[in-house]
Structure formats: structure tokens, C-alpha cells
């Protein structure tokens, strides 16, 4: 056996052990049974992982049959990554523990005219004191991102931007990704799903689609930019065209519609409070959006046929107010009976979801490398190599 082969086998075995422990505590004997590895090999690798501080020993078990064992689990906060969302309204920066816990998050606004250089400089300034020991920083943008290049982000007014020269001062590995795609990948990473649609709805609308276990990117990275699907309306869109879907479904339009109904709310938070408090105009505006989203989901179901839809972005926090009308519209307009009962749920991370998605880009790589981070990831011509997201089964699977 060549040396490289032995290293690769070690990585795969460590990856298998860490992967099983992500789903819950196990004994060495459980791990041997689940991985098919000899008990001696499991003990050796577990010892290595304990030494590195990745695992912890917990309570002893005494099964009715067989020998007692000690439960092993992933040590909380043993590793973490930074994640950020450069959104239209502001920036979110957070740290995500390798088990999915948000350790801290901070958010700031910026003047609307702030360009990429200024926004990334502020991100660097905020991230710098937290960067020590982080696996990397993954940040998301509301636009088409292909290998470190932002092709177009209409709602930011940015296009044809090579991000790499702007990232030279960051003292850790950095990756950029589209917000909906990063969110979809993190959902797969934490919960596992072979067919998933992740809807990011804030000012704009985008979808991250995982079909048969793979993230859809398309020939130009624009797959899922359904907010720019042309419809009947003739309202001008930030992309320069007229009638895009997000001019009807974007949350800016929700506020406009509320105003047209005679309502008064200075922002989304106020509108939410009014709707929750039973204001008829606010509830009507929410119902109108919920109905439009239900019809949109009926379309999404025939385009991609997901098993589950997750709603992220600002809309995740509106979801309880939209759910009733959304479900009624989906039931009324569904193509297949299965689409009528399509599971639709808000992201557990609420509006932090895109930044969580950014951080999970690095956590997924860490697990993929079996925790052998020092031996990767390698820069490949200025880019980090893309790795597969494990076996598609996550913690909750």
C-alpha cells in the first residue's frame, strides 16, 4: 500500500466515525458495528480524535447484552467557522459551532451607496478579532456567484466583480456563495434531504435547489434565480427588466401593498407587530402575500418537485403570519395530490440562515476531510476546492 492510500483510508475512517457521532453519542462497539471497522482500528482512531480534542467521553452504558461501554460524543465548541451574509439591508456576522450552535451573532447596517470594497473592509474589521482558530469565513451574497466571482446582484447594484483581490487581507480561508445556495447546502448538511428547495425571501427572492442530492447551479450559476422569472406584472425590477416575480413577492412590495390598503407601518417589524395584534389591513396584506407564495410554491413543485421547502430570509420570521393563506393557496393550486401537502417550514435559524449557510461551507469541508484540516483545504489557483457534502444524511436523518 502506498503512503497516500493509507492517509486516504485514515481520512475516510475518521470521516465515518465523526459522521456517525454527529447523529448522537455512541460507544466504541457501536462505532465498530456501524462502520464495519475492527474494534482495534476504532479504538486507535477514537484515541486520536480524543487527543485532538474533537471527542469527549461521557456516561458509561450497561446494555442488557454485551459488555458495558463508554459513550463518545462530539465535544461542543471543539471547532467553529465564521459565516456572514452581505444582504441588501445590512450585514450579519456569526460564529457557528461544528454541531450547529450559533455562538454569537452581530448585525450592522450600512449606507445604501456602500460598495463591495467598503462592505468587505467592515466585515474584515468585525471578523478580525474573532478569526483566531476559526476554520474559515463563508459569506453569502444575494446574486449569482461563480468561483469567487459575483456575476450579478441586482438588489445590491453590483456586477462582474472578482472578489478574490478584495479578500487578500483576511487572515483565514474565505469562500463566497449565493445566499440561497449556501442556505440549501447547510440544510442538507444539518438535516439531510435529497430533494429540497430553500427559499430565501427578503427584498429579493431566490431558491437553492437540491435535486437527487446535488445542488443545482446551472451552466452560469443562475439556477434558482426565480425572483427574476418574468410574469404578468410590468413593475420595474432592480435587474433592469420589468415584471420579475420578486417585484410581486419581495418584502418591499408587502409594505407598499399594506400602505395601499390604508395601513401605516414604517418597516417590516412594525407591520409584523400590527398583523400579530389583529390589524385588519396588516393581516390582509399578509394574506395577499401568503396566497401569492402558495401559488409560487405550486409552480416550484412542478419545476423541481422538492420533498420539503424551507423558507429563510426575513420571511422566515413572517412565516406564522403567512402560513394559513399560503397553505390554502397551495392546496387549491397544487398539481399532484402530494404537492397539496408539501411540507413547508420556516428555517430554524430565522434571518440568520444565510450566514449560517456561509459558515457551514467550512464545517462541511471539515467533516469531509475527517477533521484532518491541517492537511487541507488546499487552495487551487486562488480558489478552495469544492467538496461533496458527505453522504447526504445529517444529524436529524
Nearer to Zn ion, 145 or 244 (CB): 244
Spacing of C-alpha 384 from chain mean position: 18
Interface region with Zn ion, contact rule CB under 5 A, candidates 29-37, 145-153, 220-228, 290-298: 220-228
Pairing of strands 214-215, 308-312: unpaired
Q: Do 353 and 317 meet the contact criterion of CB atoms below 8 Å apart? A: no
Is 249 a residue that touches Zn ion (CB under 5 A)? no
Q: Select the residue interacting with Zn ion from 244, 309, 315, 342 (CB under 5 A).
A: 244
Nearer to Zn ion, 55 or 201 (CB): 201
Q: How many residues bind Zn ion (CB under 5 A)?
A: 4
| Min separation Cβ 28 and Zn ion, Å | 55
Q: How far apart, in whole angstroms, are the C-alpha atoms of residue 151 and residue 162?
A: 9
Nearer to Zn ion, 225 or 281 (CB): 225
Phi-psi region of 213 (alpha: psi -120 to 50; beta: other; left: phi over 0): left
Cell digits for 95? 460564529
254 burial class (0-12, 13-18, 19+ CB within 10 angstroms)? buried
The DSSP 8-state label assigned to residue 262 in this structure reads: T
Q: Do 143 and 151 meet the contact criterion of CB atoms below 8 Å apart? A: yes
| Min separation Cβ 69 and Zn ion, Å | 58
Interface region with Zn ion, contact rule CB under 5 A, candidates 20-28, 218-226, 230-238, 330-338: 230-238
Q: Select the residue interacting with Zn ion from 228, 258, 314, 351 (CB under 5 A).
A: 228
Q: How far apart, in whole angstroms, are the C-alpha atoms of residue 200 and residue 208?
A: 8
Is 237 a residue that touches Zn ion (CB under 5 A)? yes
Is 364 a residue that touches Zn ion (CB under 5 A)? no
Interface region with Zn ion, contact rule CB under 5 A, candidates 54-62, 177-185, 189-197, 222-230: 222-230
| Min separation Cβ 380 and Zn ion, Å | 33
Phi-psi region of 157 (alpha: psi -120 to 50; beta: other; left: phi over 0): left
The DSSP 8-state label assigned to residue 395 in this structure reads: T
Q: Select the residue interacting with Zn ion from 239, 251, 289, 355 (CB under 5 A).
A: 239
Interface region with Zn ion, contact rule CB under 5 A, candidates 160-168, 207-215, 221-229, 274-282: 221-229
* Binding stretches for Zn ion (CB under 5 A): 228, 237, 239, 244
Amino acid at each position: 500500500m502506498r503512503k497516500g492510500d493509507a492517509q486516504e483510508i485514515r481520512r475516510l475512517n475518521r470521516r465515518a466515525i465523526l459522521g456517525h457521532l454527529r447523529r448522537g453519542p455512541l460507544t466504541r462497539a457501536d462505532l465498530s458495528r456501524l462502520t464495519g471497522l475492527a474494534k482495534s482500528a476504532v479504538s486507535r482512531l477514537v484515541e486520536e480524535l480524543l487527543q485532538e480534542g474533537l471527542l469527549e467521553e461521557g456516561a458509561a452504558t450497561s446494555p442488557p447484552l454485551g459488555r458495558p461501554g463508554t459513550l463518545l460524543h462530539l465535544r461542543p465548541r471543539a471547532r467553529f467557522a465564521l459565516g456572514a451574509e452581505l444582504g441588501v439591508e445590512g450585514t450579519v456576522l456569526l460564529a457557528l459551532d461544528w454541531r450547529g450552535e450559533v455562538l454569537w451573532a452581530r448585525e450592522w447596517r450600512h449606507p445604501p451607496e456602500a460598495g463591495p470594497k467598503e462592505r468587505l473592509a467592515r466585515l474584515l474589521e468585525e471578523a478580525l478579532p474573532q478569526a483566531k482558530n476559526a476554520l474559515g469565513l463563508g459569506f453569502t451574497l444575494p446574486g449569482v456567484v461563480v468561483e469567487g466571482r459575483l456575476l450579478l446582484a441586482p438588489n445590491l447594484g453590483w456586477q462582474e466583480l472578482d472578489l478574490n483581490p478584495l479578500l487578500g487581507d483576511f487572515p483565514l480561508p474565505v469562500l463566497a456563495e449565493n445566499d440561497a445556495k449556501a442556505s440549501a447546502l447547510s440544510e442538507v448538511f444539518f438535516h439531510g434531504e435529497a430533494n429540497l428547495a430553500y427559499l430565501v425571501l427578503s427584498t429579493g427572492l431566490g431558491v437553492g435547489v437540491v435535486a437527487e442530492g446535488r445542488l443545482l447551479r446551472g451552466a452560469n450559476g443562475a439556477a434558482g434565480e426565480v425572483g427574476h422569472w418574468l410574469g404578468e406584472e410590468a413593475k420595474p425590477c432592480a435587474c433592469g427588466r420589468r415584471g420579475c416575480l420578486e417585484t410581486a413577492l419581495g418584502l418591499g412590495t408587502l409594505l407598499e401593498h399594506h400602505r395601499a390598503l390604508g395601513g401605516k407601518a414604517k418597516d417590516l417589524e412594525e407591520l409584523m407587530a400590527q398583523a400579530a395584534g389583529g390589524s385588519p389591513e396588516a393581516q390582509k396584506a399578509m394574506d395577499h402575500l401568503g396566497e401569492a407564495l402558495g401559488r409560487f410554491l405550486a409552480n416550484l413543485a412542478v419545476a423541481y418537485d422538492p420533498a420539503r421547502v424551507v423558507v429563510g430570509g426575513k420571511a422566515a420570521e413572517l412565516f406564522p403570519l403567512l402560513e394559513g393563506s399560503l397553505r390554502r393557496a397551495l392546496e387549491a393550486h397544487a398539481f399532484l395530490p402530494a404537492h397539496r401537502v408539501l411540507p413547508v417550514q420556516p428555517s430554524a435559524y430565522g434571518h440568520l440562515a444565510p450566514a449560517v449557510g456561509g459558515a457551514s461551507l467550512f464545517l462541511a469541508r471539515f467533516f469531509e476531510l475527517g477533521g484532518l484540516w491541517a492537511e487541507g483545504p488546499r487552495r487551487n489557483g486562488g480558489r478552495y476546492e469544492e467538496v461533496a457534502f458527505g453522504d447526504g444524511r445529517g444529524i436529524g436523518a
